[in-house]
Every structure is written in C-alpha cells, then in structure tokens.
Structure 1
Amino acid sequence: MTRTWILPTLFALCGLLVATGLFLGGSRGEAAALLLMFVLLAAMHSSLVFPRSIDAREAQRRSEVDGRPIVYWRPGCKYCLRLRIRLGRRARQLHWVNIWQDPEAAAVVRSANDGNETVPTVVVAGRPHTNPAPPWVREQLASSE
C-alpha cells in the first residue's frame, strides 16, 4: 500500500522544497504557483483520481454478472491516467483493480503480457487487451450495457 503513495509524496515534497526556496528568496507568487503545480502533479499520480479499486476476484465476479470490462492499473502509470481521463465519468462504470494492492491481479497481468506488468490491461469477456485506445474501451463499455 505504501508503494502507491511514493510518487505523489515525492512530487509534494519536491514542490514544497522548491517553493520554500523561492518564498525565502522573495518570489512569493512564483512559489505559490509552483507549489500548486506540484500538488496537482501529486494528485494526478495518486490513487485519488481513479475509481475505488477492488480485488481481482471481486472484479471477475462482478464482470461475469454485468459484463463490464475490468481495468488492471497502477498509480503513476501515464497510460492508465490517460485512459482514466479520456473515459471521463464513464470510467466509474468499469471495474478497476490496482495491481500494486493485489498480488493476484499482478499475476493476471503478468500472465497476459509475457511476464510483464504492463498496464493498463483491460479484460473484456475474459480476453486481455494491453493498453487499448480509450475510444475502443468506451465501445466495449457501451456494448456491455
């Protein structure tokens, strides 16, 4: 669980250090703007922008019932963030599984990607798709409704 917060924490700490230096140097406006930028970067790379994760077994169970795709992801992944942002509100309709919180989920991703933990891996009807285009995922979601 702590691995999930390493990158956001580093962004926040770096921003704080740089902003403190600028503030002490007299550039208060610049310090505030830079600190805000680093805090936004930290938030974007945290788990906070993603829908609540569930474990792999629960995601598979729910997907079998409602037919919705499963997205295996991890914090700090720019492709996962791109998928999340491009899906907008529809992202909440998918089943999200953080591979850093669930070893079983990481094993599912490795088995689908020749031993690599390549994310996002989207499973639709039991078939994995590595880093699919957001419009394609949107289509899969629409066909599962």
Structure 2
Amino acid sequence: MAEDKEVGTDQEGTARALEDGVVVYWRPGCMFCVHLRFRLRRAKLEHTEVNIRQDPEAAAFVRSVADGNETVPTVTVAGKAMVNPSMKQLREAVAAHAPHLLT
C-alpha cells in the first residue's frame, strides 16, 4: 500500500524512499497530482508523498529539476527525477530502477 508521509514525520522512511523508492512531490490544488496520487494508490505501488508547500527543501529540489519551476507532480524513482510523468512512464521507471517495488 502507498506510504503517505509528510516530510518530517519519518525522516528515515523518506531518506530510504529517496534512495531506492518512489517519491511524489505534490502541492494542494494540483489536479494532475490528485490524479497521479490516486492512480498510484489504486496500483498499490509503495511511494512517499511530499507536499512542497510544507517543505521548502522539497520545493527547491523540484525547481532544480523542472527548469526553475515548481512543476508538480515531480516524481523520483530511485533518485531519478521525472517531471509530470504519465503512469506508463512511471511504471517503466520503476521496472528499470526499482523493480523490488513491483509485486
């Protein structure tokens, strides 16, 4: 099942997800984020969710990989960033970089 955590709640879990898991950077009001988060939960793909409005470092990371913009959802799979990926792209990235998450 999805691991829904805000940064700061479980730093160890978030650090582990950054290394070898899936991290979804999102913000409230983003319908693209709502859609992707729903699909991830439905697929039962373990992931960590980080609200960039509550974490300035996460917002800075998103800007660093999205040409200075806070484009969300931004997703990392085993540390590899993808800006606004489709579910197909995300599944392919998980298969390539974090196959241990597939069950």
Same fold (TM over 0.5): yes
Give, as a single letter, the amino acid of the residue that structure 2 aligns with 1:144: H
Q: Does 1:128 align with 2:84?
A: no
- TM (normalized to structure 2)? 0.74
State how many pairs are aligned.
93
Cα shift at 1:144: 3.4
Cα deviation 1:119-140 (Å, max 9, x = unaligned)? 0000122221001112332441
Q: Report which of the two has the higher share of helix.
A: 1
Task: Give 2:56's match in structure 1, choosing from 103, 108, 131.
Answer: 103
2:49 is paired with a residue whose SS is: strand
Higher strand content, 1 or 2: 2
RCO higher in structure (CA 8 A, sep ≥6): 2
Larger Rg: 1 or 2?
1
1:143 paired residue number: 99
Aligned residue in 2 for 1:115? 68
Root-mean-square deviation over aligned CA pairs: 2.5
After TM superposition, the runs of 4+ consecutive aligned structure 1 residues lying more than 6 A away are none
Identity among equivalent positions (%) equals: 46
After superposition, where does 1:75-90 map in structure 2 within 5 Å?
A: 75-87=28-40, 88=42, 90=44
Q: Secondary structure at the match of 2:50?
A: strand
In 2, Cα distance between equivalents of 1:64 and 1:121? 13
Q: Which runs of 5+ in 1 are unaligned?
A: 1-49
Query: Equivalent residue of 1:100, what SS?
Result: coil
Q: TM-score, normalised by structure 1?
A: 0.55
Give the Cα separation in 2 of the matches to 1:133 and 1:121. Answer: 11
Using the alignment, how far apart are the partners of 1:114 and 1:64 within structure 2?
Answer: 20
* Aligned-pair CA distance for 1:113: 0.7
Structure 2 SS opposite 1:70: strand
